[in-house]
Chains A and B, each alone.
Chain A
């Protein structure tokens, strides 16, 4: 069974159809009626967009913040990957110093 059309999709389709009628019709009266309905549909659709934008704003912000935290975790994970090599370099340097000391005082 097909999904029931929502108000927004109905308004959108209605506007497209009315636009087509206005552009193609030679009948002034038909054009005038279609134009009045087009304006009305536009205003109704605009109200829906307003409501949706207000509803979505906090959802966008919450999801964006969560993703930014994930990004921070990925950056930290990459830094952590470098710690073994860095640690090993430090041990290597310490061994080098030790070798020099032993030679100097040995």
Chain B
């Protein structure tokens, strides 16, 4: 039996290994259609931008609303002395302004609860975006190169440079495929599950800031501002001393500024939260259909530029060898 040289064995098995790497690489690149589409990534980006800063904005504005209500009700009490129901009025005692209840419903506990909710919403947007952007490309390239370099170092393994390149490219592409598939699977599972809770939370938050909504903290703030304005406007003409007027006039003005804040800022805050809900609903819809476009194909071609060049070389070589075999 003739002993075959290692070089001859390598020459006969090289096309087989190239074919395997070729098929694997081609399949994985084409199969990256299992990942998120460009439209889905764009919807994630849009939602993430909408939620950016909602946590801080909510906490800041609630703190200002609390301060405004405390200041407003304190000034009202200073002007009127005591809040009493009118004769025949069946007002609840808890509805009266007293020195220990000037904060009314804007307690630390209540505003912390709402602030915590807004922060969870902001984090959700940030984490979705971070997941969508995380490709592990650098880590995978390094790992694929290390794998093939160490494979070549094993004495019984003989790899030509082209084969090593093809295997590196195939391993990288398989890794990227797995990352994209896992990401897409996670997003398609998590977003629809979170949808009803995002809707609920954004409904609650949007209503909270809207001064025209029943029982909202925004309406409580505006009511305190209008009450102060009314008490100040009624008390000012009756003030008999400069000292009295020095108390009433700034309080009245504070009430007017607070009303303006309610009209200008709170309504806008409410609208900003409503737009978060809208963008999440668009994201949920985008995830229902995987519409691959020319933009998606361009993205794949751009990302797998190196791998496609390797593919091209491997293809050309296989075709050349197949001509020689005829």
Assuming the contacts A49-B105, A77-B183, asked whether A99 and B154 have C-beta atoms less than 8 A apart, the reply is yes
Does A22 lie within 8 Å of B92, measured CB to CB?
Answer: no
Selected from A64, A75, A84, A106, the residue in CB contact (under 8 A) with B175 is: A84
Among B96, B116, B128, B223, chain A packs the most CB atoms within 10 A around the CB of B223
Residues of B120-178 at the interface with A, using a CB-CB cut-off of 8 Å, are 120-121, 123-124, 127-128, 130-131, 134, 136, 139-140, 142-144, 146-147, 149-151, 153-156, 171, 175, 178
Chain B residues contacting A51 (CB-CB under 8 Å) are 215
> Which A residues lie within 8 Å of B234 (CB)?
22, 31-32, 35
Closest approach, in angstroms, between the C-beta of B144 and any C-beta of chain A? 7
Chain B residues whose C-beta falls within 8 Å of the C-beta of A95 in the assembled complex: 147, 150-151, 153-154
Query: Is A34 within 8 A of B230, CB to CB?
Result: yes
Contact present for B190 and A70 (CB under 8 Å): yes
CA A36 to CA B96, docked complex, whole Å? 14
Tell me whether B91 and A89 are in contact (CB under 8 A): no
Selected from A40, A50, A61, the residue in CB contact (under 8 A) with B105 is: A50
- Chain A, residues 27-46, CB within 8 Å of chain B (1/0): the string is 01001101110111111111
- Separation in Å of the B123 CB from the closest CB of chain A? 5
Cβ–Cβ contact B223 & A42, under 8 A: yes
Contact indicator per residue, chain B 176-213, by CB within 8 Å of chain A (1) or not (0): 00110011001101100110011011001000000111
Per-position 1/0 for B86-110, Cβ under 8 A of A: 1001011011100000001100001
The secondary structure that dominates the B interface is helix
Which listed residue (B140, B146, B212) contacts A12, Cβ 8 A? B212
Contact status B140-A88, CB under 8 Å = yes
Contact A81 to B136, CB < 8 A, known contacts A45-B219, A71-B124, A88-B175: yes
Determine whether the beta carbon of A78 is less than 8 Å from that of B131.
Answer: yes
- B131 A46 Cβ-Cβ under 8 A: no
Closest CB in chain B relative to A76 CB, distance in Å = 8
Residue of A44, A64, A77, A91 touching B182 (CB-CB under 8 A): A77
- Contact A102 B154, CB 8 Å, known A63-B117, A88-B140: yes
Which residues 40-73 of A sit at the B interface, judged by CB distance below 8 A?
40-53, 56-57, 59-64, 66-68, 70-71, 73
Instruction: Give Cα distance in the complex from A85 to B176, angstroms.
Output: 9
Minimum C-beta distance from A53 to chain B (A): 5
| Bound-complex Cα distance A32 to B234 (A) | 8
Q: A53-B105, A71-B127, A86-B139 are in contact. List 16 more A-B contacts (CB 8 A).
A: A8-B214, A15-B223, A18-B230, A22-B229, A40-B86, A41-B223, A48-B215, A48-B219, A49-B220, A67-B123, A67-B194, A88-B146, A88-B171, A95-B153, A96-B150, A99-B155
Q: Pick the 3 closest A-B CB pairs, nearest first.
A: A52-B215, A8-B214, A77-B186
24 contacts between A and B (CB under 8 A): A11-B223, A16-B226, A35-B231, A39-B86, A41-B223, A46-B220, A49-B216, A50-B215, A64-B120, A67-B124, A70-B124, A71-B120, A74-B190, A75-B127, A81-B131, A81-B134, A81-B179, A84-B175, A85-B139, A92-B146, A92-B149, A95-B153, A96-B146, A99-B154
Which positions in B face A, CB cutoff 8 Å? 83, 85-86, 89, 91-92, 94-96, 104-105, 110, 113-114, 116-117, 120-121, 123-124, 127-128, 130-131, 134, 136, 139-140, 142-144, 146-147, 149-151, 153-156, 171, 175, 178-179, 182-183, 186-187, 189-190, 193-194, 197-198, 200-201, 204, 211-217, 219-220, 222-224, 226-227, 229-231, 233-234, 237, 259
